[in-house]
């Protein structure tokens, strides 16, 4: 895959810039056998062309390219008591060319180049290999009958030889459309693989097609530029990558030593690390390569150091982890399994003392101070057995409601649950609303000195006491004729009946907590 950008530079000159990506499945020979791998290569190139406006020698050009092919590691393989370490060495390369076009007759032309290539193979097991030198290439194009044409390309370069034959046909009406068949062969040098390709080629050049290099006046025109740009400034027929290997004789496999890995527990949500490498060893002293399966979510594993990294999940789950230790020569393997658990953080609670509320109105009780989460996560509160109308705030742990003054005992259980729902703890306690009975003070004899028919009032509520503040309801018997008592205020009202009669009055005060009764003497003196 490539792309080319070209511009006209003056009347006789043009420049193009190309980028190329090449991927090939190549076969490489190793001592352990042939291996096929997909290899990639990146290249950029620039080319400059000058027109001489000469019928025999119309143009000359100069180009430059550079490329990079990454390496690929194939790993180790045993063969006949040897362990082979294999890889495909990539390369860095650059080069240039100087060429000219010759037109010996009107229906064909030659293009000849002198080339220089420098290739450095990035070998690891041996010193880096440099392949460089001069070479040459030629292209021959011949127009045939019936809109057919024939191309022949030969490249003789230091890294490889390359040849290509193409037979093409261009549409007589769609001048930019070209269909062709081609076959090509690359013969690699210096351990570079050889490669043969063949296929169908379809090309379309936008704009008018120049059928002859003498059609344009002056020496260049847009059709000539379009045809020139359709050929990239860099074309690499082969990924420049070579096979390399090293071998060493295998002795008897050293049995790796391993010990059981103890199970691990981590509480909370803090970072944790666990080094499992001390539980494995190679008697030869060589380094080990580790792998792990079944790790907890979000955990990572360093295959070189054998260290597990992660964050505590606090999910009350256990994970079975399998560790595989492999000798550096891949000759021996040891396996151990263990579990990593994340038990819930145990919540701490203290006893909630019994609570008692008297009086009237509302009450509140904060029980949050009796619960603690060591992990620092907030708690969610709930309660069962609360008095009628009472509730608990799930966030603050405050119980609130109305004072019932019903003398009942309520067995309440408060539960605190961690915000991640991993752990909970409960504490029971009691809530009571004691009702203290009312009392009454002695009422001394009362004498009202007033003329007969004079109104009077007596406030009797001052003699009644409600420790809980509950309101009284008053009643009385033995009142003088025409006198009454207000059941809410406890005020006796009426009119004087004149001197003489003595009234023994019984008065009662009732609250939700009980009733008290007392007697007092009432007389009238009209003198």
Check pLDDT > 90 for residue 44: yes
Considering only residues 185 and 526, tell me which one the structure prediction assigns the higher pLDDT.
Answer: 185
Bridge partners for 514 per DSSP = 511
Measured distance CA(194)–CA(47) in Å, rounded: 27
Q: What is the pLDDT of residue 382?
A: 96
Q: What average pLDDT does the segment 217-227 reach?
A: 53
* Assigned CATH topology for domain 348-432: Immunoglobulin-like (2.60.40)
Q: What average pLDDT does the segment 215-228 reach?
A: 53
Q: Do 487 and 475 touch, CB atoms closer than 8 A?
A: yes
Question: What does pTM read for this prediction?
Answer: 0.49
What is the DSSP track for 440-494?
E-----EEE---TT-EEEEE-GGGEE-TT-PPPEEEEESPPTT-EE-TTT-EEEE
What is the DSSP track for 257-325?
EE-PPPPEE--TTSEEEEE-GGGEE-TT---EEEEEESPPTT-EE-TTT-EEEEE---SS-EEEEEEEE
CA 358 from centre of chain: 57
CATH assignment, 257-342 = 2.60.40.10
Measured distance CA(349)–CA(369) in Å, rounded: 9
Measured distance CA(381)–CA(439) in Å, rounded: 41
pLDDT tens digit sequence for 339-386: 999 998 889 999 999 999 988 889 999 999 999 998 788 999 999 999
Average pLDDT score over the chain: 88
Residue where the block lists tokens 């790790």:
295
Q: Do 265 and 272 touch, CB atoms closer than 8 A?
A: no
- Which DSSP category does 438 fall into? P
- Say if 257-342 and 439-525 have the same CATH topology: yes
Q: What average pLDDT does the segment 206-213 reach?
A: 51
Structure tokens at 273: 């690390």
Residue where the block lists tokens 């060493």:
248
Name which CATH class applies to 3-245.
mainly beta
Considering only residues 156 and 78, tell me which one the structure prediction assigns the higher pLDDT.
Answer: 156
Structure tokens at 101: 């076009």
Task: At 179, give phi and psi (nearest 5°).
Answer: -120, 135
Q: What SS3 class is residue 234?
A: coil
Q: Do 379 and 366 touch, CB atoms closer than 8 A?
A: no
- Which CATH number fits the domain 439-525, given the four candidates 3.90.79.10, 2.60.40.10, 1.10.1740.10, 3.40.710.10? 2.60.40.10
Task: At 521, give phi and psi (nearest 5°).
Answer: -105, 135
At 205, is the pLDDT very low, low, confident or very high (cuts 50, 70, 90)? Answer: low
pLDDT tens digit sequence for 105-142: 888 889 999 999 999 999 988 887 899 999 999 999 99
Check pLDDT > 70 for residue 222: no
Check pLDDT > 80 for residue 400: yes
Bridge partners for 143 per DSSP = 149
Q: What average pLDDT does the segment 208-213 reach?
A: 48
Q: Given phi > 0 = left and psi -120 to 50 = alpha, else beta, which region is 316?
A: left
Cα–Cα nearest to 471, from 490, 492, 491, 457: 490
At 82, is the pLDDT very low, low, confident or very high (cuts 50, 70, 90)? Answer: confident
Check pLDDT > 70 for residue 219: no
At 212, is the pLDDT very low, low, confident or very high (cuts 50, 70, 90)? Answer: very low
Considering only residues 487 and 33, tell me which one the structure prediction assigns the higher pLDDT.
Answer: 487
Q: What is the pLDDT of residue 217?
A: 42
Q: What is the pLDDT of residue 527?
A: 59
Check pLDDT > 50 for residue 214: no
Structure tokens at 309: 């990294």
User: Where does 32-128 show beta strands of DSSP type E?
Assistant: 33-51, 59-69, 72-79, 82-89, 91-105, 108-121
Q: What average pLDDT does the segment 150-179 reach?
A: 88
pLDDT tens digit sequence for 299-339: 999 999 999 999 998 888 999 999 999 987 677 899 999 99
The length of the chain is 527
Considering only residues 382 and 255, tell me which one the structure prediction assigns the higher pLDDT.
Answer: 382
For the chain, the farthest-separated pair of C-alpha atoms sits apart, in whole angstroms, at 165
Check pLDDT > 50 for residue 259: yes
Q: What average pLDDT does the segment 37-52 reach?
A: 93
Residue 216: count other Cβ atoms within 10 Å of its Cβ: 16
Q: What is the pLDDT of residue 507?
A: 97
Q: What SS3 class is residue 229?
A: helix
Measured distance CA(146)–CA(322) in Å, rounded: 72
Check pLDDT > 90 for residue 267: no
Cα–Cα nearest to 48, from 68, 63, 33: 63
Q: What average pLDDT does the segment 19-28 reach?
A: 92
Domain ranges of the chain: 3-245, 257-342, 348-432, 439-525
Q: Do 73 and 40 touch, CB atoms closer than 8 A?
A: no
What percentage of the chain has pLDDT greater than the value 90? 58
Segment (H or E) for 208: none
């Amino acid at each position: 895959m490539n792309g080319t950008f070209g511009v006209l530079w003056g009347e006789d000159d043009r420049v193009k810039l190309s980028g190329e990506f090449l991927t090939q499945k190549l076969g490489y020979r190793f001592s352990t056998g042939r291996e096929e791998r997909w290899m990639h290569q990146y290249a950029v190139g620039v080319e400059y062309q000058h027109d001489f406006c000469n019928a025999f020698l119309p143009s000359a050009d100069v180009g430059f390219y550079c490329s990079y092919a990454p390496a690929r590691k194939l790993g180790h393989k045993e063969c006949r008591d040897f362990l082979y370490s294999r890889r495909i060495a990539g390369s860095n390369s650059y080069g240039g060319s100087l060429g000219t076009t010759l037109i010996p007759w009107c229906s064909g032309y030659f293009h000849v180049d002198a080339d220089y290539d420098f290739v450095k193979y990035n070998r690891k097991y041996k010193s880096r290999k440099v392949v460089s030198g001069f070479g040459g290439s030629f292209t021959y194009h011949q127009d045939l009958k019936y809109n057919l044409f024939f191309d022949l390309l030969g490249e003789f370069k230091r890294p490889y030889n390359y040849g290509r034959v193409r037979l093409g046909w261009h549409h007589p009406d769609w001048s930019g459309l070209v269909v062709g068949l081609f076959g090509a062969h690359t013969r690699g040098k210096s351990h570079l693989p050889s490669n043969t390709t063949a296929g169908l080629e379809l090309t379309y050049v936008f704009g008018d097609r120049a059928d002859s290099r003498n059609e344009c006046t002056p020496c260049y025109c847009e059709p000539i530029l379009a045809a020139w740009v359709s050929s990239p400034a860099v074309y690499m027929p082969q990924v420049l990558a070579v096979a390399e290997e090293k071998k060493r004789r295998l002795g008897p496999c050293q049995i790796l030593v391993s010990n059981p890995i103890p199970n691990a527990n981590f509480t909370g949500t803090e970072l944790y690390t666990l080094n499992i490498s001390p539980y494995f060893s190679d008697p030869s002293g060589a380094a080990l390569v580790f792998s792990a399966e079944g790790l907890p979510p979000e955990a990572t594993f360093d295959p070189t150091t054998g260290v597990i990294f992660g964050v505590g999940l606090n999910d009350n789950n256990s994970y079975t982890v399998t560790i595989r230790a492999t000798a550096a020569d891949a000759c021996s393997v040891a396996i151990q399994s263990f579990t990593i658990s994340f038990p819930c953080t145990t919540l701490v609670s203290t006893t909630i003392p019994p609570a008692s509320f008297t009086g009237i109105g509302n009450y509140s009780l904060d029980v949050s101070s009796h619960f603690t989460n060591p992990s620092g996560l907030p708690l969610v509160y709930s309660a069962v057995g609360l008095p009628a109308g009472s509730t608990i705030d799930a966030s603050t742990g405050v119980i609130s409601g109305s004072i019932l003054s019903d003398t009942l005992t309520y067995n309440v259980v408060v539960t605190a649950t961690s915000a991640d729902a991993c752990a909970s703890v409960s504490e029971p306690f009691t809530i009571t609303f004691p009702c203290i009975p009312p009392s009454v003070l002695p009422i001394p004899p009362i004498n009202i000195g007033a003329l007969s028919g004079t109104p009077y009032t007596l406030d009797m509520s001052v003699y009644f006491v409600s420790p809980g503040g509950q309101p009284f309801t008053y009643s009385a018997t033995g009142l003088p004729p025409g006198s009454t008592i207000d059941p809410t205020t406890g005020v006796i009202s009426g009119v004087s009946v004149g001197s003489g009669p003595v009234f023994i009055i019984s008065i009662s005060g009732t609250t939700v907590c009980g009733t008290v009764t007392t007697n007092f003497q009432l007389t009238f003196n009209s003198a």
